[in-house]
């Protein structure tokens, strides 16, 4: 049986809901993975060691330095240019370059509705037809009466943090606008009434679909 340290070496501090997609076979060897807002690569440890082709971006140069260093250690087949200091809505990565686009705890930092749409469109552009889009983001689902609107889709949460928060209608409308298909029902975790995190997973249909 593996102990905690061995598990962390194998999987890092991977988001449990993203890990669920791997366990269910929705993310499989041979797929190209892109993480928008990759940070220091905590979601990529297992994928790097398993030999996946991985790309990513982050606005923070320190984060990109960290994930490049991690890749040199765990996945020397990846080039430094696979990880870039960029904004998602203005990425230089080519269209349809990934079979999976991961956007974990990123979209709730959008400035307003227009910025949220631009970031989602930027992620969608990178996704190949038939690919999987996975996002976890803050929402108002279940705490509608506990958040204070600030305009443009931004709210102050009970704990005092101000973020861009989606509701169920916003996600369903975005799904329809993109022409995507929900892989799972939209799921929300309510953290003791203080904040909510929602998982939004889509399949990008082929043009003929």
pLDDT reported for residue 204:
97
pLDDT reported for residue 9:
82
Average pLDDT (172-193) is 97
Residue 152 has pLDDT above 90, yes or no: yes
Residue 28 has pLDDT above 70, yes or no: yes
207 contacts 129 by C-beta, under 8 angstroms: yes
CA-to-CA distance for 13 and 101, rounded, in angstroms?
Answer: 18
pLDDT reported for residue 69:
98
Average pLDDT (155-172) is 96
209: tokens are: 């679909």
Task: Encode 98-130: b = buried (16+ Cβ within 10 Å), e = exposed.
Answer: bbbbbbbebbbebeeeebbbbbbebbbbbbbee
CA-to-CA distance for 88 and 119, rounded, in angstroms?
Answer: 6
What tens digit of pLDDT does each residue of 31-46 get? 999 999 999 999 999 9
What tens digit of pLDDT does each residue of 48-78 get? 999 999 999 999 999 999 999 999 999 999 9
The CA–CA distances, whole Å, from 104 to 17, 38, 151 equal: 10, 8, 23
Average pLDDT (147-169) is 96
Residue at token pair 């449990």: 16
Q: pTM of the entire structure?
A: 0.95
pLDDT reported for residue 208:
61
Q: Put residue 77 in one of left, alpha, beta given phi > 0 → left and psi -120 to 50 → alpha.
A: alpha
Q: Which CATH class is domain 4-204?
A: alpha beta
């Amino acid at each position: 049986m593996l102990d905690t340290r061995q598990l962390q070496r194998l999987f890092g501090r991977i988001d449990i809901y993203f890990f669920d997609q791997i366990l269910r076979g929705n993310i499989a060897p041979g797929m190209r993975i892109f993480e928008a807002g990759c940070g220091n690569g905590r979601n990529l440890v297992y994928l790097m060691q398993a030999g996946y082709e991985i790309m990513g971006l982050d606005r923070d140069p320190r984060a990109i330095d960290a994930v490049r260093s991690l890749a040199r250690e765990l996945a020397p087949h990846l080039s430094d240019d696979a990880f870039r200091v960029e904004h998602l809505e203005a990425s230089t990565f080519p269209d349809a370059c990934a079979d999976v686009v991961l956007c974990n705890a990123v979209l709730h930092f959008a400035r307003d509705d227009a910025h949220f749409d631009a970031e989602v469109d930027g992620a969608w552009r990178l996704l190949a037809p038939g690919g999987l889009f996975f996002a976890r983001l803050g929402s108002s689902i279940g705490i509608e009466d506990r958040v204070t609107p600030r305009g443009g889709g931004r709210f102050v949460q009970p704990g005092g943090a101000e973020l861009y928060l989606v509701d169920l209608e916003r996600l369903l409308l975005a799904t329809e606008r993109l022409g995507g298909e929900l892989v799972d029902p939209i799921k929300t975790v309510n953290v003791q009434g203080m904040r909510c995190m929602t998982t939004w997973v889509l399949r990008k249909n082929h043009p003929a679909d």
